[in-house]
């Protein structure tokens, strides 16, 4: 069973045998929500919603059970404002007559195999008949507005996607004030609310708190998903943990302003709503026009947060990431930024590359400073085709060819969405930047934001970036975006459409990304937005990996990467080793610890490897060689979180990778601060074969873990030891005694 409409019960059921989603048409065409969760063999729809009178809850006129039926308590699929439901609405609009009351009723539905792409928006895809879609058309009773609610359920994973298409079928314009992608009502309020918060260089920290009565919101008005909040929200019973209990989670395939809200009603029900942020949002919907909301992903797990993440990880890899790099191993990357910043020339970059390639690097990236007169970050953004020939006398192609001659791939940094006030582009087209009449634009990082709501601006960006990328055989692009949106206005649109510009800007981002990435399908694109400002499901549809954070300190990265892994598989995370003292927090940590943390994703270095001592270079060469050996397991295997830096001692982190075929297991364990006479951590692994044995082939640790390192090596090195799968999972593995700060340990097992 995929999607079934029961004519007698007036129910819609989506099920893949593991998860189930049930809706029902109530009298007079109201669409209610009955169940989302584990697939049930039998479901009594008649008794699923208990109706009773609630004082103060309005009753729709002419309803057969008027005193016991109210929209204020009905669990609704797409709640609206003005007809008696006082909770968070999914849709708000001002009709042509100036009123804001809406009343949506069922009109028709369609069921079909497969899935449609969303117009002008990134969305998930299917390759064959691996999904079924239900579209329910709702009509506003006055007849001027039609809403199509689209649901897709997948055969191969426990994910349901949702979006809405809102069409003006009347003769006068309608102003949309809010258009959510998803609304879902739960019958209980006995949940914890799990969200992600952060700031620049400290993104995606996990926050888990019990639900409170009233409305709680995580949102962004910064023009991007943002460092500060992520468009992810999960509800779970209080006793749910990493491997046990239920989780209901959602995120948006969207990169702009968003709102993720919950509301607990006085009657103990909970509503979750996700979508474009309604703050400062208005969309003038002209007759015949349709507004499509971003796609929402809805995941249910009854195996804790690990089960939730496994579904997200699979879905990202198989239904969002596209192109030739989808299943291709990511190269070991070395970036020039922290090594040289903007102080370089062709020869210095070639020498930088020689040192890196000698140690095993596969991709050399030239970061900012190669165009215009850009020696500082106060000029030249937008002047992309003006190559700095003082630094690169032979242009991008000359440098690219020399890097290729070393046997490495070549990559380049760009920031297409921004413009410097001190640039030829801005001097020629000052109206091309976002701005508000009568106001002086705000600068951030000495730059303005280009007005991507305009076709001419987008065409310029696409043409100039394509000219640069077409000038050489470039293998990789780091696409940066280093500021928030301010002064959100466009001279290209009339006054009544100015509150559309933030949304139109993001649609413009998708347009230029789509056109450029499709023009160069063999280039590996990595998104960066001041690090992880825009690490979301929307961008991942165009760029299969993202620079996880500007902060490369391994202690901070444990939390950043742990939080990111709730939704995103490690292969999508750019993770690099950098020099010490760390450029973001000034901390000095061992090379081994930095390596173990960074190898947990798409691995690379953010430093000048040629400046290391001979002993350090040998260590790096060994690390790179080991990563290449383990790359398939880390990038394409299953990822399991074992210990959280947000819970327990908050001083330890552990995670694990298991190869697709189960033949290899990689375990990382971190303990940040050494404690006197510290406990010996007994770590239980997961995802192994109970009946198999596993041999330790690699055991890496700091030589300062014991007073006598030689004695430690002879007595406690586990290489060659064999353990049972059941032993490792149900008894556990004694980790090393920690006698130094910032310790990290790496264990590799081979199934026998």
> With contact defined as beta carbons under 8 Å apart, do 225 and 536 qualify?
yes
> With contact defined as beta carbons under 8 Å apart, do 196 and 230 qualify?
yes
> With contact defined as beta carbons under 8 Å apart, do 18 and 155 qualify?
no
Question: CA 364, CA 475: separation in Å to the nearest integer?
Answer: 10
User: ∠ at Cα 266 (261, 271), nearest 5°?
Assistant: 25
Question: CA 57, CA 728: separation in Å to the nearest integer?
Answer: 56
Question: CA 393, CA 416: separation in Å to the nearest integer?
Answer: 23
Tokens coding 518: 């499709």
Q: How many CB atoms lie within 10 A of CB 217?
A: 16
Nearest to 432 by CA among 462, 407, 409, 457: 457
Helix (H, G, I), strand (E, B) or coil at 417: coil
Nearest to 333 by CA among 359, 358, 369, 365: 365
Alpha helices in 641-696 (DSSP H): none
Q: Is the link from the previous residue into 581 a cis peptide, with omega within 30 of 0? A: yes
Give one DSSP letter per residue of 632-675, joined into a string. HHHHHSEEEEEE-TTSTTSSEEEEEEE-TTSSEEEEEEEE-S--
Angle in degrees, 0-180, between the axes of helices 614-636 and 591-598, rounded to the nearest 10: 20
Rg of the chain taking only CA atoms, in angstroms: 27
Question: Which helix (H) or strand (E) element contains residue 347?
Answer: helix 346-358
508-to-30, 125, 256 alpha-carbon distances in Å: 36, 21, 11
Nearest to 334 by CA among 573, 609, 605: 605
Q: Cα-flanking dihedrals φ and ψ of residue 167, to 5°?
A: -120, 135
Q: Cα-flanking dihedrals φ and ψ of residue 55, to 5°?
A: -60, 130
> With contact defined as beta carbons under 8 Å apart, do 240 and 208 qualify?
no
Question: CA 65, CA 53: separation in Å to the nearest integer?
Answer: 10
**Within 13 Å of residue 456, how many CA atoms lie on the same side as its CB?**
8
> With contact defined as beta carbons under 8 Å apart, do 722 and 688 qualify?
no
User: ∠ at Cα 562 (273, 324), nearest 5°?
Assistant: 85
Question: CA 360, CA 667: separation in Å to the nearest integer?
Answer: 23
Question: Catalytic residue numbers?
Answer: 480, 550
Nearest to 577 by CA among 560, 601, 559: 601
Question: CA 396, CA 194: separation in Å to the nearest integer?
Answer: 46
Give one DSSP letter per residue of 289-335, joined into a string. -EEEPPEEEEEEESBHHHHHHHHHHHHIIIII--STTTTSPPPPEEE
- Calculate the CA 62 to chain-centre distance: 46
Tokens coding 152: 């897709």
The residue whose two tokens read 């989780």 is 247
DSSP 8-state assignment for residue 190: -
User: ∠ at Cα 390 (389, 391), nearest 5°?
Assistant: 85
Helix (H, G, I), strand (E, B) or coil at 725: helix
> Checking phi first, is residue 52 left (phi over 0); if not, alpha (psi -120 to 50) or beta?
beta
- Calculate the CA 535 to chain-centre distance: 4
- Calculate the CA 581 to chain-centre distance: 29
Question: CA 731, CA 708: separation in Å to the nearest integer?
Answer: 28
């Amino acid at each position: 069973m995929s999607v079934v409409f029961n004519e007698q019960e007036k129910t819609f059921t989506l099920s893949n045998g593991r998860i189930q989603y049930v809706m029902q048409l109530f009298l007079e065409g109201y669409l209610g929500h009955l169940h989302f969760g584990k697939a049930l063999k039998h479901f009594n729809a008649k008794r699923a919603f208990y109706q009773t009178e609630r004082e103060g809850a309005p009753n729709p006129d002419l309803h057969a059970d008027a005193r016991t039926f109210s929209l204020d308590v009905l669990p609704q699929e797409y709640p609206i404002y003005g007809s008696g439901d006082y909770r968070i609405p999914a849709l708000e609009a001002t009709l042509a007559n100036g009123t804001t009351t809406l009343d949506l009723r069922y009109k028709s539905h369609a069921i079909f195999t497969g899935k449609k792409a969303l117009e002008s928006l990134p969305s998930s895809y299917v390759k064959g008949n691996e999904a079924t879609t239900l579209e329910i058309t709702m009509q506003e009773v006055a007849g001027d507005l039609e809403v199509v609610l689209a649901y897709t359920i997948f055969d191969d994973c426990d994910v349901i996607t949702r979006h809405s298409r809102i069409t003006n079928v009347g003769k006068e314009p309608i102003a949309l004030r809010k258009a959510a992608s998803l609304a879902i009502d739960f019958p209980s309020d006995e949940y914890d609310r799990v969200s992600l918060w952060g700031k620049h260089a400290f993104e995606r920290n996990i926050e888990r708190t019990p639900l409170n009565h009233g409305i709680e919101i995580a949102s962004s008005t910064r023009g991007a998903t943002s460092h500060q909040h992520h468009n992810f929200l999960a509800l779970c019973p209080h006793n749910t943990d990493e491997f046990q209990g239920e989780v209901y989670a959602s995120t948006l395939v969207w990169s702009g302003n968003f709102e993720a809200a919950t509301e607990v009603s006085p009657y103990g029900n909970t509503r979750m709503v996700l979508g474009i942020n309604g703050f400062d949002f208005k969309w003038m919907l002209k007759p015949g026009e349709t507004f499509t909301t971003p796609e929402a992903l809805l995941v249910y797990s009854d195996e804790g947060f690990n089960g939730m993440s496994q579904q997200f990880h699979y879905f990202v890899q198989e239904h969002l990431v596209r192109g030739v790099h989808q299943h291709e191993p990511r190269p070991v990357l070395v970036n020039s930024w922290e090594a040289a910043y903007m102080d370089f020339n062709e020869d210095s970059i070639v020498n930088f590359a020689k040192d890196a390639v000698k140690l095993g690097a596969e991709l050399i990236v030239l970061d900012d400073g190669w165009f215009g007169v850009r020696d500082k970050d106060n000029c030249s953004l937008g002047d992309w085709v003006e190559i700095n020939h003082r630094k690169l006398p032979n242009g991008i192609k000359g440098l690219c060819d020399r890097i290729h001659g070393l046997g490495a791939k070549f990559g380049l940094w760009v920031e297409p969405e921004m413009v410097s006030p001190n640039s030829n582009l801005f001097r020629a087209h000052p109206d091309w930047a976002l701005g508000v009449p009568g106001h002086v634009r705000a600068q951030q990082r000495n730059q303005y934001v280009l007005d991507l709501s305009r076709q001419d601006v987008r065409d310029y960006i696409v043409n100039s970036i394509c000219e640069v990328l077409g000038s050489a055989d470039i293998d990789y692009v780091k696409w940066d975006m280093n500021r928030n949106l301010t002064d959100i206005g466009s001279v290209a649109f009339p006054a009544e459409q100015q509150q559309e510009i933030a949304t139109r800007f993001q649609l413009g981002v998708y347009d230029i990304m789509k056109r450029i990435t499709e023009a160069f399908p063999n280039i590996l694109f990595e998104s960066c937005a001041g690090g992880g400002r825009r690490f979301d499901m929307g961008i991942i549809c165009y760029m299969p990996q993202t620079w996880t954070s500007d902060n490369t300190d391994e202690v901070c990265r444990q939390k950043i990467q742990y939080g990111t892994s709730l939704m995103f598989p490690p292969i999508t995370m750019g993770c690099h080793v950098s020099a010490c003292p760390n450029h973001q927090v000034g901390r000095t940590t061992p090379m081994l610890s930095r390596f173990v943390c960074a190898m947990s994703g798409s691995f690379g270095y953010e430093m000048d490897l040629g400046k290391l001592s001979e002993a350090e270079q040998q260590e790096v060469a060994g690390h790179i060689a080991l990563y290449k050996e383990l790359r398939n397991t880390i990038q394409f295997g299953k990822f399991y979180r074992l210990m959280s830096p947000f819970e327990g001692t908050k001083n330890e982190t552990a995670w694990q990778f298991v190869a697709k075929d189960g033949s290899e297991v990689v375990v990382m364990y971190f303990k940040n601060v050494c404690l006197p006479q510290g406990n010996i951590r007994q770590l239980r692994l997961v995802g192994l074969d109970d009946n198999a044995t596993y041999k330790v082939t690699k055991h890496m640790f700091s030589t300062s873990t014991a007073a006598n390192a030689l004695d430690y090596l002879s007595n406690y090195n586990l290489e060659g030891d064999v353990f049972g799968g059941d032993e490792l999972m149900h008894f556990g593995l004694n980790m090393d005694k920690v006698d130094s700060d910032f310790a990290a340990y790496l264990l590799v097992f081979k199934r026998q």
